[in-house]
Structure 1
Amino acid sequence: MRRRWTGLMTAACLVVTAAPSLAVAAPAVHTGQQRPAAASDEATDYCRGQCHDILPPGANGSATAAQIILNKLTGAKPKHTDDQLGKYADLVDEYAGLTNGKLSTFFNDASFGVPDDQVESRKNPGGRKDVTITRDKTGIPHIKGTTRAGTEYGAGYAAGQDRLWMMDVFRHIGRGRLTSFAGGAEGNRQLEQQFYLGGAYKESELQAQVDRVRDSGPRGRQAYEDVTAYLAGLNRYIDDAKKGLYFPGEYDLTGNADILTGEGIEPFKATDLVAIGTVISALFGSGGGDQVAAALVKQAAERKYGKEKGEKVYEAFRMQNDPEADLTLHDGQRFDYAASPEHPRGVAMPDEGSVTEQQVVYDPTGSAAQGKAAKRAAGKPAAGTGDAGRAAKEQAATSDANLRHKPELAEAKDTLADGVLPRDLFARKHGMSNALVVSGKHTDTGNPVAVFGPQTGYFAPQLLMLQEIQGPGLSARGAAFAGLNLYVQLGRGKDYAWSATSANQNMTDTYAVELCNTDGSPATKDSTAYLFHGTCTPMEKLVRENAWRPTIADGTKAGSYKLVAHRTKYGVVRYRATIDGKPVAYTTLRSTYQHEVDTLIGFQMFNDPDAVTGPESFQKAASRIGYTFNWFYADAQHTAYYNSGLNPTRARGVDPNLPIRASEETEWRGWDPGTNTVPNTPFAAHPHDIDQDYYESWNNKIAEGYTVAGFGDGPVYRSNLLDDRIKAQISGGKKVSRASLTRAMEDAAVTDLRGEAVLPLLLKVIDTEKVTDPDQKEAVDSLRGWLEDGAKRKQTGPGSKTYAHAGAIRLMDAWWPLLVKDEFRPNLGTGLYDALTRALQIDETPSTPGDGVGHKGSAFQQGWWSYVHKDLRAVLGEQVPGAAPVKFCGAGDVAQCRQTLLNALEKAAQTPAEKTYPGDDVCKPGDQWCADSIQQRPLGGITDDLTHWQNRPTYQQVVQFPDHR
């Protein structure tokens, strides 16, 4: 052990040259894997320099142990670790004067290929002559192959160079084995537990997904061959990294590899990619599953107001098809899906007070059995374990005394001590946004303009990676999730670009299965058998035996537990309850469960220039994707939209927005319970469109009649910030440019939604009488001045780290939760109010932690702004479509409502900044700018600077194609 640490510290003192940094490339499927390309076969680029993109912090996501320690000693970082962070952040202060010519200041040139003066390195990975990885001066890999197999080999090799550690983390999460790999820190345990019930698989089931795609036809076979070549390249990189001792230092810092040999890094196999895919699917590509929470709201409303009126109150807050909701397809298109029927059958409402969460953690010892962690262990999300080889045994033997003499190493370990990923990664759905796409009839050149990208959170390194891939049947540049980067998932092809936002339509239903015991004894809520088609059937018990070694940096002791999932034909058990006194289990059945890999074909087609030749063929490719996404497309002539997702067809009369009694009569039509296979609804039934005047999306409602999961999709949604700005740009015959549409996006990105959309109504109520109290008047005037200046959260100047209108912003942040509570809780009552706040959080400011994690960038997606907006208009006597049958603020009296708002405002004014912005591990209490700021949350040993808040996609493209094939 002593020799191991000595070697590590010696390495830190040397001049370290990083291994060439490679961001993973993503190939697309085509027949003829070994088809050679002619020497002069260059990818034609129809964008003519008018395609740009950006992905902070940088292309390189790898650092050796020596580099990590050097970072702690001096702040030095490996090359290309953060060289895209500055220009991404600087747009906040410079967007007002943005022109087309200045786009390259804030974005990368996303043209195909690398000009000679921009080449940083070239490599033939594994010594192969059929693929070259050319890295440009931003560190982005451009992978070009003369054979398909060679191209994919290069993609896998590049993936290892830039994201090996992160990919390893995600394959362990996907199997419920994070803690054994990354340590038993509380954050890791929570994360592992949160994910396990959503993706519990047997190893044979992961392999079955691979085999099913392989045997599904020519494209499936090609995908399988691509995976095989990709894995060969990835595993060759692992071998090279071990021999060269330039593998990621996190392996050594967590005890997973020996610094002198690299022993402990396991090769990847196809099922590892499936495990990674289940994680990404859970994060960004599924909708529904929250029907129990909705049922509790409905029950509370009926208890408070009676059945008939309570039903109307529930519907008003659910906002299933609110007539005022912002629609992506706004030209009168209608697509009916997943709405609640007027007289539903088979609704499974629980007995009052009977719902309990399903236990997932059993037999905890050590750290997991201590303090708060023990209380969370039963039925709460957490973390898991696995083998770490000889390095793990050595790590367990390392003493605290040894580390005290190596403070930099201790600091490097401390970076990973609380868990390798944010605790809220799986606790809630993440917004994947946004998109602004304008038809050519409204643009400066007559060619469509698109500014779009996924809002996938901020990490170091990012979950996504930038790459270009060129080979037989493959031609694309863009971003892909690490470990799934066989193909570019969001980016551009020869003469088209595409992107996505999360759609969140309901494809996950909750079933109530009647419990029983196979021995015929009376069932209880703890029974582990259920009725399936009239037969008492044992639940499958999927168990992960997890044990972790000590985490020296934070004193975490060794520990262990079992993760257990109880699985039925109707999905995994999430809750237990009684219905009319009889015990039931509530399960969640997701249509893509056991079918994550099927989606690979759609991405394959996106990358194939022969498969996507225009908007119609793009829509056909998008229809092959099972995840719930809004897909946007632009070329030189057309724009298009398609909503993907494996949408099941429900039985007639079933309400998919509430729990359903499990029976043959209420099952999905055409469903095969043996393989969880269900036919998708027809292509034409999915929302789709070509050449609408413009499209905008920020996870809002898609089209009239198309029901999305969740509460609160009403007249105020963050997509309104985009919609209003696009309308202003095309009004009166004005023309949109790449720069002007980017300005619109960024202006929305620094705007407080509550300030722009709801504050005018709050002031309208207050202005029904003159404010005479001097303190109240000062607060009101402050808010009014902020509103008149655009309700921005923007600093006074570059680098000031102080907001203009800082006092008004602090007032709004403190006022909003107080006014919502005082406006609604007196009439709703505590029970209904609490049920509603569990279904939809009150607020989501930039500084709102959200499940314990702040600094996330994405803001104003979840909140009660539509509820406040409708209620205040009703109190003011306006006609409000879709309003609740009850007026809440001041019980409907304007004067009382006004006083309620002013009383809450007075409390807000007296609230110290330290309480509004309580501080955390990177900010002091009361520091407003810091509380809002974006943190690239470390997934490894390297950390980055905080940057100014902006509500913007993580990866973003700005494109306008002047030419087409």
Structure 2
Amino acid sequence: MRTPIGGIGGTTALVGAGVCAAFVAVTLAAPATGAGADDYGSLWNILPPGQSGTITAPDLVQVASGDPNRIAVDGKNAPPNFADQLEKYDGLNRRDPAGITTADIGSYYKRAGFTPDTVVRQSAPKSGVSIRWDSYGVPYITGATYDDTMWGAGYAGTKDRMFLMDVLRHAGRARLAEFAGATPGNLEMDREQLRSAFYTEAEAQAQLGNAAIRFGAEGQRLLQGADAFIAGINAAQDAMCPGGSPVAPSCPAEYAALGKTPQPWTRADVTYVASLVGGIFGKGGGNEYQNALWLQRVQAKFGAAQGRSIYNDLREKNDADAPTTAETRFPYGGGPVNERQPGVALPDVNGPQAPGTGAAIDGTTLPSGLPALTPGGPSRDLSMNTPMGTIDVPIVSRGMSNAMLVDAKHSTTGHPVTVFGPQTGYYTPQLLTEEVLDGPGIKARGVSFAGTNLVVQLGRGVDYAWSATSASSDLVDTVAERLCNTDGSPATVSSTAYLRDGTCVPLERYQHSYLATPSPASPTPPQKYTYLVLRSRHGIVQLRTTVKGVPVAIVTQRSTYQHEVDSIAGFARLNDPGYTRDATSFKAAAAGIDYTFNWFYADDRDIAYFSSGRLPLRAAGTDFDLPRWGDARYDWTGWLADSAHPQQVNPSRGYFVSWNNKPAPGFAAADSVWAYGTVYRSLALEDRIKAATANGGKVDIGRVTGLVEDAATVDSRAVYTLPALLRAIGDDPATAQARALLQAWLADGAHRVDRARTGHYEHEAAIRLFDEWWDGGGSAVARDVLAGRLGETLTSELPQPIDDHPRQGRGSSWNEIAWYGYVNKDLRELAGTPFASSYANHYCGAGDAVACQATLRTSLADAIHRALADEGVSSVDQLTYDKHLDDIRSVTAGVVGVRPIDWQNRPTFQQVVAFTAHRPRT
């Protein structure tokens, strides 16, 4: 029960007398207007492409008759509610953000109340359950009991997402190739899921019951609700595919294409979907192995002390110049790297290796070209191949959500105004599904990850709303277990036992096997695939290697492993109007979520923030950045207290902004996050709201919507690196025309936008040139900057991606890239700008301003030459850029797709919130 690409996290379970109240039916005080719960304020939301995601055989005929490529367009060949919200979503990007008013919001968002504006259809699929669908296909589920409401959530959610839910549960089981075909993408996805969240069937089946024990009476109620939810799923499957027939007219068309029969859901399936989400998206950390290798390489060249200082510069673990969401300090994570600690286990850079979990065994042959298995997760995004399309799983750049909350003092209405939402990528159908839940102990509207929608994970309650952005805080560590042989012979990297408290015990060993049969995605003969799984007491073995010649197993320890479904308790509290009544109770509810996310709250009086996660307290003698020995004395010593998590209510600056940036001063970036430096894309939000509220300025909800949309088309990389680059180059006659184009683009805000839909970006020549300069033709100006000190080899080996560009087609861009900050800070420091956290070393030109200038002039000149040669033109002002390279291309997860839309860096599900009233506060 976790969100997808914006998940959840908390710390200590909140068990006690107050917890039981979370499930008591409450009587809501009548709002001041007396018209119903919707009258506590004005709320809107949007979730493209549309709520109805199931395509039956008759639907497929309708779409294909209008487009043989099966692209559904609303108003032409799309089934009802399949693509209607896509047009509203794309339409906002056509507007001048400065001209957006409150009156315009209804043209680009739909009302998000508890009562449907229009009831298009309704059903009572079982006694105690009533479902009404509005004109956008959103189900309004009313239950006579809590369990009835859960049953209705399972039933309605399956009606909209049945096949997608099946894909996700098979991916969570690491059996995607068995279900959808043995494509390279599916085989790789299965291997990585085993390495992230392997469970036996019995373990997966038991996890919900174990969570219920953890939460006492509250947990038992949730367990009963989960069983009702599963029953609702199975009832919907039976109704849509009677007798399991894949060719029934109401059955999703993908089953016939695959030749598969829908199977009943169990508790284990809910765990497997949750493990897919939690093991990939709701985490931070786990890169200690890669960090250790790079630290040793840089020390080999520069010596221990200077190598350590270079590592600390570029790691930016606790940069005081980094933009933060909270204003107040929350210390966590310790100081600079210290590889000399007794608990640190540095893997040998060129040590021997043997495979760990995910290795093919028993004669299994995998396609050539699959990447090597490395600790810390894959170095590139994964994919899931379905009959008609590929579902990209954005591993490398997970955080994709944003939030802008303005307090009452800076609002024209005297009440907070908020625009926020999770960015989960663009899929057809969407990974998120919307619902309205109304029953005893629950009243909420919003979205949830398909297959875990027994609770609303992001949305609104009676008189409050909440959302999240990825925090990526450190809840994963890398542990080195000393290998041994139970017969007493000397250990090697192929050994399958380890020292546990001084005793040699076997690693848990499993064989994960399945038979992949032919499918449209992979029309190959049936083949059996068998993978190795190894576990120690700390977690899943990633590989075996050596530390100072000692054979070890490199193990990933994740605090949420074996606990992926526990966070349902936190969500249930957010959904319950008897529990969440104000900012204080909101923070308590969010603390019950174990995944690492930034949670935001707004009502008619307060805005609030809480950063969740089951964050470990680490033992003395270990290092936050590096692998540790598996000895018991170096184990985690507890969990960060709720009060020590970054949090704040009504900040003095008058606003919260978040775009996956650093949560708070003093809160160390996870070892997997090197990008919390001077530049983060959240500045595009902060710069705008700071200017709008300066000198007593006030904003309304229309203005805030416009500010967030204005930031959505900004090339944040250019805005915060180009000024320093151009200043360092100076007056260079050879590049004067190019620099003039770049300066003009900057002066106009450095947007990538075509609001008039001319087919071209404004300033396209500058965009084409800067893209080439930043990362083109095997050259990159950011690497040119660092190579002045590090040299080309170490610079290329730095374990950080160079860019996060719109060309990926998934909308979210400019996230978690350390190089933007490296260029900004190093060049500005070289020019004499002071910083609170200065680099210990200069990089461009090895600290020589003249040499740096020469490097950058050559770098720009080379980029100009490459761009001109590539396009066959003689002048930089003739350069063009195909804006459709940046288009948002929704991933087709079934047999029907939707059209691309223009790029905008914006949440997938976005809420616009303006509460003006509240229940009586106690």
Quick check: TM above 0.5? yes
Match of 2:298 in 1: 301
Query: Within 5 Å, which residues of 2 pair with 1:561-640?
Result: 561-640=529-608
CA distance in 2, matches of 1:578, 1:378: 15
Change in CA separation of 1:607 and 1:640 when aligned onto 2, cut-off 3 Å: same
Please tell me whether the aligned partners of residues 284 and 429 of structure 1 are also in contact (alpha carbons under 8 angstroms): no
| 1:253 matches 2:216 | no
| 1:829 matches 2:830 | no
| 1:888 matches 2:892 | no
Match of 1:90 in 2: 91
CA distance in 2, matches of 1:463, 1:643: 23
Match of 1:753 in 2: 716
Match of 1:220 in 2: 219
User: Shift of the alpha carbon at 1:545?
Assistant: 0.5
Match of 2:15 in 1: none
CA distance in 1, matches of 2:846, 2:282: 41
Match of 1:145 in 2: 143
CA distance in 2, matches of 1:30, 1:432: 35
User: Shift of the alpha carbon at 1:364?
Assistant: 7.8
| 1:335 matches 2:303 | no
CA distance in 2, matches of 1:416, 1:72: 18
Please tell me whether the aligned partners of residues 35 and 472 of structure 1 are also in contact (alpha carbons under 8 angstroms): yes
Of 47, 58, 78, the residue aligned with 2:50 is 58
Match of 1:99 in 2: 101
Please tell me whether the aligned partners of residues 439 and 638 of structure 1 are also in contact (alpha carbons under 8 angstroms): yes
Of 658, 662, 676, the residue aligned with 1:701 is 662
Secondary structure, aligned partner of 1:159: helix
CA distance in 2, matches of 1:111, 1:142: 10
CA distance in 1, matches of 2:619, 2:837: 27
Match of 2:631 in 1: 663
| 1:902 matches 2:902 | no
Match of 1:124 in 2: 124
Amino acid at match of 1:887: H
CA distance in 1, matches of 2:388, 2:59: 21
Change in CA separation of 1:893 and 1:341 when aligned onto 2, cut-off 3 Å: closer
Change in CA separation of 1:915 and 1:521 when aligned onto 2, cut-off 3 Å: farther
| 1:820 matches 2:776 | no
User: Shift of the alpha carbon at 1:577?
Assistant: 2.2
Please tell me whether the aligned partners of residues 766 and 898 of structure 1 are also in contact (alpha carbons under 8 angstroms): yes
CA distance in 2, matches of 1:712, 1:379: 20
Amino acid at match of 1:787: L
Change in CA separation of 1:349 and 1:962 when aligned onto 2, cut-off 3 Å: same
User: Shift of the alpha carbon at 1:192?
Assistant: 1.6
Of 725, 728, 732, the residue aligned with 1:771 is 732
Query: Within 5 Å, which residues of 2 pair with 1:28-67?
Result: 44-45=36-37, 47-48=39-40, 50-67=42-59
Change in CA separation of 1:35 and 1:606 when aligned onto 2, cut-off 3 Å: closer
CA distance in 1, matches of 2:644, 2:193: 31
| 1:174 matches 2:172 | yes
Q: Which runs of 5+ in 2 are unaligned?
A: 1-18, 68-76, 243-247, 379-383, 872-878
Please tell me whether the aligned partners of residues 339 and 655 of structure 1 are also in contact (alpha carbons under 8 angstroms): no
Amino acid at match of 1:333: R
Query: Alignment identity in percent?
Result: 38
Please tell me whether the aligned partners of residues 65 and 252 of structure 1 are also in contact (alpha carbons under 8 angstroms): no
Query: Within 5 Å, which residues of 2 pair with 1:691-730?
Result: 691-692=650-651, 693-709=654-670, 710-730=673-693
User: Shift of the alpha carbon at 1:832?
Assistant: 2.2
User: Shift of the alpha carbon at 1:34?
Assistant: 11
Match of 2:71 in 1: none
CA distance in 2, matches of 1:43, 1:630: 33
| 1:798 matches 2:756 | yes
Q: Which structure ranks higher in relative contact order (CA pairs < 8 Å, sequence separation ≥ 6)?
A: 2
Give aligned pairs, total.
Answer: 861
CA distance in 1, matches of 2:832, 2:425: 41
CA distance in 2, matches of 1:55, 1:800: 26
Match of 2:874 in 1: none
After alignment, is 207-216 or 693-702 more displaced? 207-216
Please tell me whether the aligned partners of residues 388 and 521 of structure 2 are also in contact (alpha carbons under 8 angstroms): no
Please tell me whether the aligned partners of residues 190 and 380 of structure 1 are also in contact (alpha carbons under 8 angstroms): no
Change in CA separation of 1:871 and 1:762 when aligned onto 2, cut-off 3 Å: same
Change in CA separation of 1:714 and 1:43 when aligned onto 2, cut-off 3 Å: farther
RMSD: 2.7
CA distance in 2, matches of 1:199, 1:695: 34
Please tell me whether the aligned partners of residues 54 and 108 of structure 1 are also in contact (alpha carbons under 8 angstroms): yes
CA distance in 2, matches of 1:364, 1:66: 44
Of 696, 703, 719, the residue aligned with 1:740 is 703
User: Shift of the alpha carbon at 1:502?
Assistant: 1.1
After alignment, is 236-245 or 220-229 more displaced? 236-245
| 1:495 matches 2:463 | yes
CA distance in 1, matches of 2:802, 2:870: 17
User: Shift of the alpha carbon at 1:698?
Assistant: 1.0
| 1:446 matches 2:442 | no
| 1:688 matches 2:647 | yes
CA distance in 2, matches of 1:362, 1:419: 26
Amino acid at match of 1:807: A
Please tell me whether the aligned partners of residues 140 and 437 of structure 2 are also in contact (alpha carbons under 8 angstroms): yes
CA distance in 1, matches of 2:473, 2:837: 21
Change in CA separation of 1:553 and 1:571 when aligned onto 2, cut-off 3 Å: closer
User: Shift of the alpha carbon at 1:69?
Assistant: 4.8
Of 152, 155, 161, the residue aligned with 2:153 is 155
CA distance in 1, matches of 2:287, 2:375: 16
Change in CA separation of 1:377 and 1:186 when aligned onto 2, cut-off 3 Å: farther
TM-score (norm. length: structure 1): 0.85
TM-score (norm. length: structure 2): 0.89
CA distance in 2, matches of 1:764, 1:698: 28
CA distance in 1, matches of 2:636, 2:23: 39
Match of 1:416 in 2: 386
Secondary structure, aligned partner of 1:488: coil
Of 763, 767, 770, the residue aligned with 1:809 is 767
Amino acid at match of 1:952: R
Please tell me whether the aligned partners of residues 357 and 541 of structure 2 are also in contact (alpha carbons under 8 angstroms): no
User: Shift of the alpha carbon at 1:346?
Assistant: 0.9
Please tell me whether the aligned partners of residues 191 and 358 of structure 2 are also in contact (alpha carbons under 8 angstroms): yes
Match of 2:902 in 1: 948
| 1:877 matches 2:832 | yes
User: Shift of the alpha carbon at 1:30?
Assistant: 7.3
User: Shift of the alpha carbon at 1:499?
Assistant: 0.6
Amino acid at match of 1:311: R
After alignment, is 339-348 or 816-825 more displaced? 339-348
Match of 1:844 in 2: 804
Please tell me whether the aligned partners of residues 545 and 561 of structure 1 are also in contact (alpha carbons under 8 angstroms): yes
Change in CA separation of 1:33 and 1:741 when aligned onto 2, cut-off 3 Å: closer
Please tell me whether the aligned partners of residues 190 and 381 of structure 1 are also in contact (alpha carbons under 8 angstroms): no
In the TM superposition, what whole-angstrom CA distance separates every residue of 1:597-626 from its partner, at most 9, and x where no partner exists? 111100000000000011111111111111
CA distance in 1, matches of 2:390, 2:781: 37
Secondary structure, aligned partner of 1:322: coil
Change in CA separation of 1:808 and 1:746 when aligned onto 2, cut-off 3 Å: same
After alignment, is 541-550 or 447-456 more displaced? 541-550
CA distance in 2, matches of 1:914, 1:269: 59
